[in-house]
């Protein structure tokens, strides 16, 4: 009996300790004031004391940041100084293991077709703007209609990289992916009902989850229908009283660390750093040698005994030779090929040399100057802010206020989708007395253009256009109410095709010779154009420490 009583007492004590530890698991104390976070007695001020580490998003791997020489190529046969070596520091980030495939892009198209049905004139242009250009496979002296009709949609090419996508379309896909990933997170957390499972809510139009709008004001989504929300995160500042069918707690905030960061195209510096993967060529804190491709070594063929002679990537090997002789040791593809067909590089990334070239975020300029920023280099910044209406509310785009751009190739594309936050460029007043930027538009900053020099000036009425270095053709056009372009020829003398709308693409493709497989090589194309050899992959930022592995503390 005594033994049973003592065991019972020990069990009660153990339970009390466990309950006490559980009750304090959500509480942390300010080390500078002694106040408790997440405690209603102290105001319920919130702090996420249980946050562990940001994990990799679906389909992505961690690229640990570091220093490297950007633009360092083995062969510069053009001698154009287009790849001037510049030492750069890159921050840690996440990147897709492989290119975005046809099946993944088709999910995007199916979603747009359901939410913005092209049968409705209100939304027709939204779906059409996202469609890849399948005619990129056509050639006046080539027999490729099979690819024109089947490459995008036939299941035989489902795991092949999507092509025919312009830079603008790729950037829009990244925005869409951000919202779908975060919507799935909130559904799994029980905060949000799945939109397509609610009979009371029409899925068309503005009824679309948007991350920025949710963080700004959740009530601005779904036409103000709060029934889409099920339960929230615990609000320690209030006493929760659960009533049937009501939303309890609070909505998710950035400070909770639950939502994924914004997906985007990688910068040129990030893409080149990730492709080079010099981590495998590292010896202590220096390099053993120079890498020519994304894999180790200077040859395009496998050097190991088992696979010796096999090609290391999918690329054009010579005039009229896109795969090699049939049988052993060809590259396995005449055009693109299934992703992950070759081994990944040292970072775990596939097809960083060969298969398709890839869009990056940067605006193209011929030279990256040695005086350029050496930390997370990127050219293309236009600093924006949320637009506020006269009543002081954040402006949300609806189907009546969607603005469209008519591109030089005649395509009509939306600037923002219904349900998203409206952004406008920062003003000079916003940048007043700042020492890190002076204006919103920084694409042409310090690029050698006359507009970037201190001697540049304009007439007060700006009626006379001054000469520019990057004076690419400006197509004279008349745009009617329907957005149709009446195309005309440009008659002015032009010095270059480079403009603020030209974007960089990196890496060699199935259509390129081995010269372009070097990750440091760079080319450009207008952001509204597409080809049959350029695809893309997404990236997103890594928050917190550079890597998941922590440094060991020195023993005292």
Tell me which H or E stretch contains 215: helix 211-216
pLDDT in tens, 147-157: 999 999 999 99
Q: Is the pLDDT of residue 456 over 70?
A: no
pLDDT in tens, 1-52: 444 455 665 555 555 544 444 444 456 888 888 888 888 888 878 887 777 7
Tell the burial category of 89 from Cβ atoms under 10 Å away from its Cβ (0-12, 13-18, 19+).
middle
Helices (H) and strands (E) in the chain, counts: 7, 17
The residue length of the chain stands at 556
First to last CA, the chain: 50
In a domain, 333, yes or no: no
Selected residue with higher pLDDT from 550 and 257: 257
Coil, helix or strand at residue 237:
coil
Segment 322-347 shows an average pLDDT of 89
Q: Is the pLDDT of residue 388 over 90?
A: yes
What would the two tokens of residue 345 be?
């590089």
Q: Are 445 and 456 contacting, i.e. CB atoms less than 8 angstroms apart?
A: no
Give the per-residue SS3 of 63-86: ECCEEEEECCCCCCCCCCCCCCCE
What would the two tokens of residue 364 be?
């193209």
Look at phi and psi of residue 42 and say left if phi exceeds 0, alpha if psi is from -120 to 50, else beta. alpha
In a domain, 37, yes or no: yes
In a domain, 263, yes or no: no
Strand partners, 29: 36
What would the two tokens of residue 23 be?
């009750």
In a domain, 170, yes or no: no
Q: Is the pLDDT of residue 438 over 80?
A: yes
Q: Measured between alpha carbons, how far is 367 from 415 in angstroms, rounded to an integer?
A: 30
In a domain, 34, yes or no: yes
pLDDT > 70 in the chain, percent: 82
What would the two tokens of residue 196 be?
């397509």
Q: Measured between alpha carbons, how far is 238 from 46 in angstroms, rounded to an integer?
A: 12
Confidence band, pLDDT 50/70/90 cuts, at residue 455? low
pLDDT in tens, 129-138: 999 999 999 9
Work out how many domains the chain is built from and give that number: 1
Q: Are 442 and 434 contacting, i.e. CB atoms less than 8 angstroms apart?
A: no
- Who contacts 202 (Cβ-Cβ below 8 Å, separation ≥6)? none
Range of the domain at 19: 2-42
Q: Measured between alpha carbons, how far is 375 from 87 in angstroms, rounded to an integer?
A: 9
In a domain, 36, yes or no: yes
Phi, psi of 70 (to 5 degrees): -75, 135
DSSP E strands in 366-408: the ranges are 384-386, 404-406
H-state helical runs in 217-360: 268-276
Lowest mean pLDDT among 102-111, 366-375, 511-520: 366-375
Secondary structure letter of residue 180 according to DSSP: H
Q: Measured between alpha carbons, how far is 2 from 8 in angstroms, rounded to an integer?
A: 10
Q: Measured between alpha carbons, how far is 350 from 341 in angstroms, rounded to an integer?
A: 8
Q: Which residue has the tokens 């509480």?
A: 27
Q: For residue 405, what pLDDT is reported?
A: 86
Mean pLDDT, the chain, integer: 84
pLDDT in tens, 233-243: 877 777 666 66
Tell me which H or E stretch contains 146: helix 145-150
What's the distance, CA 203 to chain centroid? 26
Q: Cβ of 291: how many Cβ atoms within 10 Å? A: 24
What would the two tokens of residue 466 be?
């001054």
Q: For residue 378, what pLDDT is reported?
A: 94
Q: For residue 13, what pLDDT is reported?
A: 58
Segment 56-66 shows an average pLDDT of 94
CB-based burial, 218-250: b 16+ in 10 Å, e otherwise = bebbbeeeeebbeebbeebeeeeeeeeeebbbb
Segment 315-333 shows an average pLDDT of 86
Residue 153, CB half-sphere, CA atoms under 13 Å: how many? 10
In a domain, 10, yes or no: yes
Segment 164-193 shows an average pLDDT of 94
Q: For residue 24, what pLDDT is reported?
A: 45
If you average pLDDT over each of 86-100, 318-332, 447-461, which comes out highest?
86-100
In a domain, 30, yes or no: yes
Q: For residue 212, what pLDDT is reported?
A: 94
């Amino acid at each position: 009996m005594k033994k049973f009583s003592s065991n019972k007492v020990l069990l009660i004590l153990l339970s009390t300790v466990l309950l006490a530890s559980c009750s304090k698991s959500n509480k942390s104390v300010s080390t500078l004031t002694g106040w408790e976070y997440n405690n209603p007695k102290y105001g319920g001020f919130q702090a996420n004391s249980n946050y562990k580490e940001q994990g990799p998003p679906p389909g992505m791997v961690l690229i640990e940041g570091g220093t490297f020489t950007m633009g360092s190529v083995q062969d510069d046969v053009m001698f154009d100084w287009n790849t001037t070596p510049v030492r750069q520091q890159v921050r840690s980030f996440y990147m897709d293991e492989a290119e975005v495939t046809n099946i993944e892009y088709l999910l995007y198209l199916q979603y747009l077709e359901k939410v913005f049905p092209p049968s409705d004139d209100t939304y027709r242009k939204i779906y059409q703007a996202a469609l890849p250009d399948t005619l990129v496979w056509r050639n006046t002296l080539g027999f490729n209609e099979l690819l024109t009709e089947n490459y995008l949609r036939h299941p035989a090419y489902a795991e092949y990289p999507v092509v025919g996508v312009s830079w603008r379309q790729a950037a829009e896909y990244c925005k869409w992916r951000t919202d779908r990933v975060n919507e799935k997170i909130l559904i799994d957390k029980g905060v949000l009902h799945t939109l397509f499972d609610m009979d009371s809510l029409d899925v068309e139009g503005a009824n679309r989850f948007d991350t920025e709008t949710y963080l700004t004001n959740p009530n601005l989504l779904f036409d103000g229908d709060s029934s889409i929300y099920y339960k929230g995160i615990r609000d320690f500042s209030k006493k929760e009283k659960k009533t049937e069918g009501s939303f309890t707690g609070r909505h998710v905030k950035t400070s909770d660390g639950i939502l994924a960061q914004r997906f985007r195209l990688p910068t040129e510096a990030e893409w080149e750093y990730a492709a080079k993967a010099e981590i495998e060529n590292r010896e202590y804190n220096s390099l053993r040698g120079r890498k020519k491709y994304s894999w180790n070594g200077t040859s395009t063929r496998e050097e190991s005994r088992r696979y010796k002679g096999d090609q290391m990537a999918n690329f054009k090997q010579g005039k009229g030779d896109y795969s090699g002789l049939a049988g052993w040791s060809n590259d396995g593809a005449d055009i693109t090929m299934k992703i992950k067909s070759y081994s990944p590089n040292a970072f775990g990334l596939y097809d960083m040399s060969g298969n398709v070239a890839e869009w990056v975020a940067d605006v193209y300029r011929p030279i990256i100057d040695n005086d350029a920023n050496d930390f997370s280099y990127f050219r293309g910044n236009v600093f924006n802010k949320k637009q506020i209406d006269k009543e002081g509310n954040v402006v949300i785009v609806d189907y009546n206020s969607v603005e469209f751009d008519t591109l030089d190739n005649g395509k009509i594309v939306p600037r923002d989708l219904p349900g998203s936050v409206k952004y406008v460029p920062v003003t000079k007043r916003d940048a007043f007395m700042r020492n890190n930027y002076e204006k919103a538009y920084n694409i042409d900053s310090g690029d050698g253009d006359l507009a970037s020099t201190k001697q540049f000036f304009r007439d007060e009425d700006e009626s006379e256009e001054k000469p520019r270095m990057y004076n690419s053709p400006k197509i004279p056009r008349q745009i009617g109410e329907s957005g149709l372009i009446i195309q005309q020829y440009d008659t002015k003398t032009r010095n270059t095709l480079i403009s603020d709308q030209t974007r960089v693409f990196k890496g060699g493709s199935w259509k390129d010779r081995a010269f372009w497989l070097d990750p440091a090589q760079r080319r450009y194309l207008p952001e509204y154009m597409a080809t049959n050899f350029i695809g893309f992959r997404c990236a997103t930022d890594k928050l917190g420490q550079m890597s998941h592995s922590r440094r060991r503390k020195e023993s005292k």
